[in-house]
Amino acid sequence: MPLVSPKLLRATVIALVLILIVALWQFQSNTFQQLSHLNHINGNGDNGNINENGASSSLTAVAAGTIDWSRFAYVQYVTNTAYLCNSVMLFEILNRLQSKADRLLMYPSSFSVDTEDDSTESKLLRKARDEYKVKLVPILVQSRSGGDSTWAESYTKLLAFNQTQYDRVLSLDSDSTILQTMDELFLLPSAPVGMPRAYWLNFAEPVLSSQLVLIQPSEFEFKRVMDAISSASSRDYDMEIVNNLYKDSAFILPHRPYNLITGEFRSKQHSDYMGNSEEQWDPEKILHEAKFLHFSDWPVPKPWVPASPSVIQGKQPTCDMNLVTGHEDNCRARDIWLGFYDDFARRRMYLSERESDAR
Q: Which residues bind ligand NAG (CB under 6 A)?
A: 139, 159, 162
Residue 162 or 171 having the CB closest to ligand NAG = 162
DSSP H helices in the chain: 6-41, 56-64, 81-96, 120-131, 149-152, 219-230, 238-246, 255-258, 271-274, 283-289, 309-315, 332-355
DSSP 8-state symbol, 132: S
Q: Which of 160, 167, 162, 141 is nearest to 152 (CA)?
A: 141
Residue 76 or 262 having the CB closest to ligand NAG = 76
Residue 63 or 139 having the CB closest to ligand NAG = 139
Residue 139 or 312 having the CB closest to ligand NAG = 139
Residue 84 Cα distances to 1, 80, 122, 175, 340, angstroms:
89, 6, 10, 10, 19
State in angstroms the smallest separation of the CB of 204 from ligand NAG: 35
State in angstroms the smallest separation of the CB of 154 from ligand NAG: 15
Residue 139 or 307 having the CB closest to ligand NAG = 139
Contact 317, 266 (CB under 8 A): yes
State in angstroms the smallest separation of the CB of 221 from ligand NAG: 12
State in angstroms the smallest separation of the CB of 173 from ligand NAG: 19
State in angstroms the smallest separation of the CB of 139 from ligand NAG: 5
State in angstroms the smallest separation of the CB of 166 from ligand NAG: 11
Residue 232 or 274 having the CB closest to ligand NAG = 232
Name the burial class of residue 247, with classes exposed (0-12), middle (13-18) and buried (19+) by CB atoms within 10 angstroms of its CB. Answer: middle
Q: Largest Cα–Cα distance in the chain?
A: 104
CA distance 207 to 198: 6
State in angstroms the smallest separation of the CB of 95 from ligand NAG: 25
CA distance 310 to 293: 24
CA distance 41 to 39: 5
State in angstroms the smallest separation of the CB of 104 from ligand NAG: 12
Contact 139, 109 (CB under 8 A): yes
Contact 258, 292 (CB under 8 A): yes
Pairing of strands 176-178, 168-172: unpaired
Residue 42 or 142 having the CB closest to ligand NAG = 142
Residue 119 or 164 having the CB closest to ligand NAG = 164
